[in-house]
């Protein structure tokens, strides 16, 4: 993590809150999380904070049942193996060597952690640097949103839509099925994830039923640009944690 961001975050809570992994509740745009320790993080907001765009019941089920389920199954899969101490990026890099359980549950664990942290009721705006990169890659912020919408809308069945920084430091949008992600070689889109949007039906069906398009459009009201700005800055230096 960047020292500057840590200091900024440290001012928002007690020291105990900052240094204890998992106890980061209500601290926005943090960089203090560590995936190496395979920690089930607390949500950075409360279940109802994203209403009316994402309802509290969906948030509770999604976080406490779905996400926790992926995490628990992943931990069961890796228990007693060297993967307990292997960073997720390295697990994903060699995903073909691992079981379907590790691919699906490890992906589900990581993807949802990214997702919660790129949501916030006070969404902020893209930094000057990120805006420039968006304009270079897509022409405008609106054109980017349209391209991202198309990826989210056209992912057949369950999956995710992504904005990534690829190995040539270009921004790209794409989608993945199931719980795959752009850190896995099996993914069509590869790069460091900057934005993750869950388009599984469990992410929206209670509130939006079959209207996935309405859910995607609502996402822009609760996107956490401050976190994405930090991820972009990190990704330029190869920092995969965002
Ligand atoms: Mn989900």
Tell me the percentage of the chain whose pLDDT exceeds 90.
81
Distance 159 CA to ligand 1 centre (A): 8
* DSSP line for 100-132: HHHHHHHHHHHHHHHHHHTB-SS-----HHHHH
Q: Is 201 exposed, middle or buried (0-12, 13-18, 19+ CB in 10 A)?
A: middle
Query: Looking at residue 241, what is its pLDDT?
Result: 64
Write the pLDDT tens digit of every residue in 200-231: 999 999 999 999 999 999 999 999 999 999 99
Which has the higher per-residue pLDDT, 240 or 151?
151
Structure tokens at 53: 């765009």
Distance 180 CA to ligand 1 centre (A): 12
Distance 179 CA to ligand 1 centre (A): 9
Structure tokens at 132: 């420039």
Distance 128 CA to ligand 1 centre (A): 31
Which residue do the tokens 């019941």 mark? 57
Average pLDDT over residues 64-83: 96
Is the pLDDT score of 17 beyond 60?
A: no
Distance 237 CA to ligand 1 centre (A): 29
User: What's the mean pLDDT when you consider all of the chain?
Assistant: 87
> Of the ranges 17-21, 36-40, 77-81, 182-186, which one carries the lowest mean pLDDT score?
17-21
Is the pLDDT score of 19 beyond 60?
A: no
Query: Looking at residue 37, what is its pLDDT?
Result: 76
Average pLDDT over residues 79-105: 95
Query: Looking at residue 238, what is its pLDDT?
Result: 86
Average pLDDT over residues 73-92: 94
**Residues 101, 105, 107, CA angle at the centre, nearest 5°?**
120
Write the pLDDT tens digit of every residue in 6-15: 333 333 333 3
Write the pLDDT tens digit of every residue in 21-39: 333 333 333 443 445 579 9
Buried b (16+ CB within 10 A) or exposed e, 154-163: ebeeebbbbb
């Amino acid at each position: 993590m960047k020292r500057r961001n840590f200091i900024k975050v440290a001012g928002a809570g007690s020291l105990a809150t900052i240094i204890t992994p998992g106890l980061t509740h209500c601290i926005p745009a943090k960089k203090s999380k560590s995936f190496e320790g395979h920690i089930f993080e607390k949500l950075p907001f409360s279940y109802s904070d994203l209403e009316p765009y994402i309802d509290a019941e969906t948030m509770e089920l999604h976080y406490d049942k779905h996400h926790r389920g992926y995490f628990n199954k992943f931990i069961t899969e890796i228990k007693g193996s060297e993967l307990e101490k292997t960073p997720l990026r390295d697990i994903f890099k060699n995903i073909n060597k691992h079981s379907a359980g590790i691919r699906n549950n490890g992906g589900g664990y990581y993807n949802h952690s990214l997702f919660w942290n790129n949501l916030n009721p006070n969404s902020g705006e893209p930094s000057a640097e990120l805006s420039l990169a968006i304009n270079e890659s897509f022409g405008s912020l609106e054109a980017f949103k349209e391209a991202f919408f198309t990826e989210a809308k056209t992912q057949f069945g369950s999956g995710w839509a992504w904005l990534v920084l690829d190995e040539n430091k270009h921004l790209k949008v794409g989608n993945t099925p199931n719980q795959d992600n752009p850190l896995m070689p099996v993914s069509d889109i590869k790069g460091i994830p900057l934005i993750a949007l869950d388009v599984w039906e469990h992410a929206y069906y209670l509130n939006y039923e079959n209207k996935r398009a309405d859910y995607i459009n609502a996402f822009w009201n609760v996107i956490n640009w401050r976190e994405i700005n930090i991820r972009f800055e990190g990704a330029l230096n190869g920092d995969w944690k965002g």
